[in-house]
Chain A
Amino acid sequence: GAGVSQSPSNKVTEKGKDVELRCDPISGHTALYWYRQSLGQGLEFLIYFQGNSAPDKSGLPSDRFSAERTGGSVSTLTIQRTQQEDSAVYLCASSFRDRSYGYTFGSGTRLTVV
């Protein structure tokens, strides 16, 4: 596609529920990243995918967070048993080959846990 597409754009969920956030990267971009942006905070790295290699999960804050990338394209970030501190904007970005090319970001999913 022309840009990085994220859905939904907004999600309100009850504490304890599971949520899935979707990212559709730019066609041909092999690298895909998830970041979290909390109010007043910078961007916090969550996970990195490169092609069909094993992902770098070093930024995932707890085992309630997981992500997958199917067919080297679409990615889903899943948060189980959501907590109020999970409320944030979740940003997906893709890059042609690697970080040296810079990222192209999606518009994000604003998650609110009530």
Chain B
Amino acid sequence: AQSVTQLGSHVSVSEGALVLLRCNYSSSVPPYLFWYVQYPNQGLQLLLKYTTGATLVKGINGFEAEFKKSETSFHLTKPSAHMSDAAEYFCALPSGFQKLVFGTGTRLLVSP
């Protein structure tokens, strides 16, 4: 079954700095990949979705993700971090029968 790895349980950046959150998938190219964001005491909210054929995917709040087959990666980036971006971010892909498997999450900390 497919699995997803998020390197770095915590990432700290300064406001205005580049945000890079890493996600790698385990084996065959998935037909779709997702990034979700979770703010404190809330459920997960969809940030963006990759589908086959795309390479750079744009999402909400200025985030984008680049799919790289050669690196089995789908890293999430944002050129300039805002304080409001502080949250936990999850990468997810299909695994098994009709469900998504989620990474363990990366908590983004943004300092002024």
> Interface residues, chain B, CB within 8 Å of chain A?
31-32, 34, 36, 41-46, 49, 90, 94, 96-105
Could you tell me if A102 and B103 are in contact, using CB atoms closer than 8 angstroms? no
Q: Encode contact with B along A45-60: 1 for CB under 8 Å, 0 otherwise.
A: 1001010000010110
The majority secondary structure among interface residues of chain B is strand
Bound complex: CA of A48 vs CA of B42, how far in Å?
A: 21
Could you tell me if A43 and B42 are in contact, using CB atoms closer than 8 angstroms? no
Q: What band does the interface of chain A fall in when counting residues whose beta carbon is under 8 Å from B?
A: 20 to 34
Using Cβ atoms and an 8 Å threshold, which residues of chain A touch B46?
102-104
Closest to B101 in A: A45
Closest to B48 in A: A102
Using Cβ atoms and an 8 Å threshold, which residues of chain B touch A42?
90, 102-105
- A4 in contact (CB, < 8 A): yes
Q: A4-B43, A100-B31, A100-B32 are in contact. Are A56 and B102 (CB under 8 A)?
A: no
- A99 in contact (CB, < 8 A): yes
